[in-house]
Every structure is written in C-alpha cells, then in structure tokens.
Structure 1
Amino acid sequence: MDPSGKVALITGAAGGLGRAFSRALLNAGAKIVASDADEAAGKKALEELEKQFGKGKVVFVKADVTNSSSLEEAFKAAKSTFNRLDIVINNAGIMRDSVWEKEIDVNVKGVVHGILLAYKYMGKQNGGAGGLVVNVSSVAGLDPVPQMAIYCGTKHAVCAMTRSYGDELHVNETGVRVVALCPGPTDTPLGRDAVQHCLHDYARQSMIDVTSSYGGLCTPDFIAEGLMTVIQEGKSGSVWVANNKIIKEIVYQRLVQ
C-alpha cells in the first residue's frame, strides 16, 4: 500500500515507536489519528508534529486500548475528521511482567480490539473499502525470552493472530490485510526500563545481557523504516522483523492447510 493520501490510526502514539511511526507516515503524505492513554504526552506529541508538519494533518484522541468503547472513539475521529480510515497500527504495548495482568490486557486484548474495530470501520462487509492492519509484535514474539516469559507470550500471541487473521478466509470477506512487525530491542522508555519490571528477581541480571545478544539497541527511526517497508510490501499474514540493521520477512513452515 502507498501511504500517500491515506489516513492511519496509531495506538500508543504519544512516544517511543508511536511518535516515530507518526513522523514516518506524515513524511510519506499520510494523515494521522494519534491515540494514547496518556493525554498530556499525547497533546505534547500533537504540538510537536503540528509544528513540524503543519496543522490539519494530525488529530489526537485519548484512548485506552484495553477498553473497546474507549478505543472506538479514535476510529470515530478518523471518520469524522478525515472521512476515511485506511491503516490501523496496533502499536500500544508494555513490557512489565511485574504487572502481567495489565500486560496481557494491553498487549493482547488491545490488539484484538484494534483488529475487530478495523473490521468494523474498514471492512467491506460493513460498507468499507478495506485497508491494512499492522500489529506491532517483537523479536520476543519469535523466540523464547525466559527473563520476560509473559511478555514473550503476549508477543507470540500477536504473531499468531496476525498469521491467522491475515489468512484469505478473512481477507476475502473484509478486504482488510493484516501484517506484523517485530522490532528488535529499541532505544525507548519501554526497552530501557524492562529490567526493573522482571517478575522474578533472579532473572534481572541475565535480562541485562538480552539486549546485547540481539545486537544492541535499534533506533525508533530504524523501526519506523521497517514499518514503512511492511506497509508498502507486506503480504497479508506476513510477519516481519526489523533488527540489527536488517528488515526482512520471516518465513514459516505451514503445518495446517
């Protein structure tokens, strides 16, 4: 998909990857609905984006991805402000096994809500024109990470849902393609604070070594480059990794036809 002229909704847009994603899409000619549960940070991000790209291209909506009705306000804003919605980026996430119930709510339920609302607002079966959903997973969704076992499980779930909802069974009915982006460890508050949020004290020391095993911290702008590649080239159901200066599709062996 060429993002120029399109409207993209981004969850978790107030900082870190969300802000980098917003800049990349605006640079490509898209308009943005930026949503985040942190209203103060969201308004600050809005001001910075408007200063750089001009007014009328971004709208901020406070939304909690764990609550479908709350998140739906961002979808309504896309329609009422820009009269269309083409891309949904389920980016909101936390890496805090110390509060694992909230982690599951944000990382798994939040993505489910985003996908189902994308079907509601973009799906052909509901009169929409179709579109694209990008689910942000992690390299922790591809391999075991024993230091953050629950976070790892949530990100594996995101990859599995992407591959399943990306199947032609859903695409043929809805016109909505679903792809996943798996960033490597990235220089964001989420990545930098991960060690202190390990559930098990004995895992914290080895967590420090995890980043180096993946090749160091990526920059948010590099991950945003990965996002743009996925938007432009990703086939529905595909899972992509952006890490250590490499952006590539992950090839799975399909066991069930």
Structure 2
Amino acid sequence: MLVLFFVNILIVHAQDFPSTSLPSSSFPDDFMPTGTISPTWLSPISPVAAFQTSTIVPQVSGYQEYSPELLSCFGKLRLACAVNLDFNRALDKYVGSGRLDKIAEVLEGQAHVLCTPDELSSVYQYISNFEPAIQIAQQVTADLSSADKDQLNFMENLNDTNAERLFYLGKFGAINDSDRTVLQNSFNEVMKAFASGTPAVETSRALSILTPDDLARVRNLSESDRVALLTDRFQQCNITSGGNIAEDVARLFEMPSQI
C-alpha cells in the first residue's frame, strides 16, 4: 500500500505563519498528509520526505553532489521564501500537491530574478535531470477530463488550495507504479537539493535585524523605495558589505511576471 504524505519544509522566515494541516479523513484511503511549507525564523531546513512508501524506495542516483552555483542560487531562493509571501505561497501550493512540473517553473522563475547567469544555468541544468518526472506530472494535467477541469476551476475561484492538493494527490496516486516511483524519487531529490541551498551569511544577517513591521513596510514599497528604506535601516544597525546588501535584500521581494 502506498502511503503518501508531505512533511514540513522548514524555511527561514521573519514571521511565524502557522502550517496548514489537512484532515486525513479528507484523503483517499491510501493518502495521509502531514503539512506544507512551515516557515520558521532562522531554523535549519529539515530533510524533506514526500511520496514515501511503506517499503524502501530506491533513491535517485547521480545527483548527490551539488555545484556551488546551484547551492548559492537555492540559498537565495530559501531566503526569498522567508520574506516574499507570493513566492512562498506559490511554492507551498505546488509542493503540497507534489506537482514537480510547477515546482520547477516556480524555482526557475524566481532564479531568474535572484541568481547570477552562472547560477541560473546550474539550476536549469539540474532541473533538466528530472525531465521524465516533469513530463509525467504534466501528462496527469493534460489527461484531465472536462469535469476535472471544471472542478479545478471551481476550486481556484474559491482559492481553495487544500482542495486542489487533495485533487492532485488523488490523481498522482492513480498513475502506474513505475511512473509514480520516478515522480516520487525526483520530487524527493529536488526538494533535498532546495533544502541544501546555502544562503549568503551577510544577507541572512541583514534579514535577521528586520522586524515584522519593517517587512510589512518593505513589501508595500516600490523597488527603489525598498532599497532606500533598507539602506537606511542597515546603516542604523551598522550592517555593511563589499556589495550593496540593501539591493540584494530588496531583490528578495521581487517576483517574476509569469508566477
């Protein structure tokens, strides 16, 4: 029997948002969720498990070593999850439903905003290793019936992300064992790599001095005003860097247009 569940992903965060827990009675008999992305301020990211089975599943081989560029970029994305509510919600939505195709889109889109060309290239190269699993996830969506699509539209209109998660968990639970194994192993590996991202020390330190009120103000400002406010705030706290730390932090609040 397949026991499918998602555990909390701990991501550094400046606010303590409660994790979402879904009642197990709402799931098909073979499914049991335990939560979604639960941000915790300056906590280490825990190991990620998802799509786990009651028996041992072979791990994805060949991707255990991550390039410095990949870890640096994923570190920036982790910090963005700490302060960028739109990015956090988008990633949380797709992690909760196991949609690896959409997870890849969200990560690559945010990497365009935050990462250097070399880092971005490393992300694309890494994600390309999981193209078979991404295609499996895409095919599940492509095979939806008209009734399925109407149901999803209804959920989206109500902004019922929990129902969407249940919907896709059921769909992924119905695919053949071989495809499900490819998808679950790839999902686990991508989440493990993301959790291994190494945020820059100076940027993390700068974020740590921002209060919830600071973050709320920054989110409501234009890009240039964000930089000005952050520059002033960091100078007050004697935080300086060889680069422009205020610009680096301000960029964490940006979102790509396609998300």
TM-score under structure 1 length normalisation: 0.26
Instruction: Give the structure with the higher percent strand.
Output: 1
Computing the radius of gyration from Cα coordinates, the structure with the larger value is 2
Larger RCO: 1 or 2 (CA < 8 Å, sep 6+) = 2
TM-score under structure 2 length normalisation: 0.26
